[in-house]
Amino acid sequence: MAPFLWFCPVVDSRWKRASEFGFAGKGMSGAEAVCRRPAGRRPKGENGQVTNEIRPAYLIHGTDDAKIDRARSRLRARAEGEGGTAALEVFDLVENRGSPDADAMVEAIFSMSLMPGRRYLLADHIEKWGKKQAERVAEAVVAAPPDLTVVLVARGKVPPGIAEAVGKVGGEARSYEAPQGRALVGHLVEAARERGFQIAPEAAALLISHLGDSLTRLDNEMDRLALWAGPGGTVDLEDLEEMVSDSSEVKGFALGDAVVSGDRRASVAIAERLVAQGTSAAGSVYPTAQAVRRVHKAISLLDSGTPPNRIGSELKLPPFIVRQVMDAARNSSLDSARDAAIALADLELWTRGGAEYPEDLALDLALVAATDEPG
C-alpha cells in the first residue's frame, strides 16, 4: 500500500509521509497525534498523570556552566542508553572558536535515519549564533519529525526565536543561572551539604578568591573536598589555607606574579607547567588577570600613601594572599602592572575567537608583550 499523506499546521504547513515515522495508535498515526497535541503540554497517561515521555525539544540556558554540563551529561546518558552512541549527534564549537554549525544541524533534523528508535541532536553554545542561523534552526525545530529530540544549549543569552520554537512544539526550557557575589558563598555551603560535608563560609570565600567564580572549577574542587572531608566532615578556614599553601600544583596566580614582575623566563616556564597540567590558555586568563589587578591596586594604594599594614583591609583578602600581593608589588611598578593588564586583556580577546592562531601561541605572544627580556 502506498504511504498516505497527512497535513499538520504545527510543522510549518508542510506535507509529511506518516509511514516514514512508524507510529500508529487510536485511529490516527502517531505523527498526527503529535501534531494535534496542544503545544506546551506534556502527554498524559490513562490515569491522567504526566508521563515520562521525552520532549521533542529542550532549551537549556543560563550562566551556571556546572549545572548545564550535568544536564548535558544526563541527556547523553539517556540517548546512549536508548540507542547507543549513534543515537546522539553533537554540534559544538571547533577548537573553541566560531559557533556550532547551524546548517549542518538543520540538515540533520530532516535526514532519514536507518537506526531504529529516537534520535537526539544537541547543539551547544548556540548563544554564538546570529539572527539568520537561529531563524533557520527555529523553523527546522518546528518542522522536525516526531522520532527526534532536539536539545539547544545557550551559555548566556538565547538567540531570538529559539525559545518560541521550543515552546511551540511542546518542548521544555530549563534555566540555570549562576549565583553572583555573596550568593556564591552560600552556593558553596549548600553544595557541600549536598555532598555530605560542611564548609565554613569564610573557607568558601577563600576558595572563591583562589579559584575565581567559575562554577565548573568550583564544582570540581567541591568534589575533591568531599573526598578529603569524608561523610559528616568539616572544612574550615585553617584547613583550606593549609591545603592552598602546601599544594605543589602550579597555580595561575603564580603566573600573574611572574608577569607583573616582568620576568619573561619565569612566566614562560610557569605557563608551560600550567599547560602540562591540562590548563588551557583561556583557563589561565582569569586567575592571572586577577593577580595582576590585585598587584596593580596594591601599588596604586602604596603610591597614594596608604600604609602597608592597611593594604590587606583595602584589598579584602586573606593574609597569606596579601603577603603574595605585597611581595609582587615590591618587585614591580605601576607601569609594568598596567602593561601586564593590557596584554592579558588582549589574551582574553584572542582566546574568545579574536585571533586566527592557536591558544598556545596566543599565550606566548601575550607573555612576550607583558614582560621584559631577562637581564
pTM: 0.49
pLDDT tens-place string over residues 104-130: 999 999 987 777 788 999 999 999 999
pLDDT at res. 15 = 32
pLDDT digit string, tens, across residues 299-340: 999 888 888 888 878 887 767 677 778 887 887 788 888 888
Side-chain-side CA neighbours of 143 within 13 Å: the count stands at 19
Structural domains in the chain? 1-36 (no CATH), 53-176 (3.40.50.300), 182-246 (1.10.8.60), 252-370 (1.20.272.10)
CA 257 – CA 375 distance, rounded (Å): 18
- Give me the sign of the Cα torsion angle 321, 322, 323, 329: positive
Residue type, 83: G
CA distance 304 to 301: 5
Distances from the Cα of 311 to the Cα of 119, 209, 329, angstroms: 59, 16, 11
| Local structure of 133: helix, strand or coil | helix
Q: Which three three-digit cell numbers place residue 257?
A: 606574579
* pLDDT tens readout for residues 39-97: 334 444 444 444 457 899 999 999 888 889 889 988 888 888 888 888 899 999 887 78
Contact 299, 333 (CB under 8 A): yes
Does 28 have pLDDT greater than 50? Answer: no
Comparing 362 with 197, the larger pLDDT belongs to: 197
Query: Pairing state of beta strands 57-62 and 119-124?
Result: unpaired
Cell of 327: 611581595
199: pLDDT strictly greater than 90: yes
